[in-house]
Amino acid sequence: MILADGFAAAVQAYAAGLAHHCSPRSTRVIKRQMTLAPFQNLSEAVELAEVEQDATRGTEDRREGVAAFLEKREPNFTGR
């Protein structure tokens, strides 16, 4: 199979961005959601995403992620 020019590099860059800019918890959630996705309908997937988002409210990592984004800097996640 021949991939479009730059496709593989773009996928690798996107994955590297996730690895460097997502908290460890977010990475675990993304992996879990991707694993479950083939077995869920849209409503179930949205519900799970909402539950996971609610679970981050008030965490240090969520505050750090928002602050890093607004300050245009790399996040420093602690896992809390």
Please tell me the predicted confidence (pLDDT) of residue 19: 84
Secondary structure tally for the chain: helices H, strands E: 4, 0
8 A C-beta contact, residue 79 and residue 25: yes
* Boundaries of domain holding 16: 9-70
Residue 48 lies in a domain: yes
Query: Per residue in 10-50, pLDDT tens?
Result: 999 999 988 888 898 888 999 999 999 999 999 999 999 99
In a 13 Å sphere around the CA of 77, the CA atoms on its Cβ side amount to: 17
Task: Report, as an integer, the average pLDDT of 68-79.
Answer: 93
Residue 61 lies in a domain: yes
The total number of structural domains that make up the chain: 1
Residue 59 lies in a domain: yes
pTM value is: 0.71
Residue 1 lies in a domain: no
Residue 75 lies in a domain: no
Residue 2 lies in a domain: no
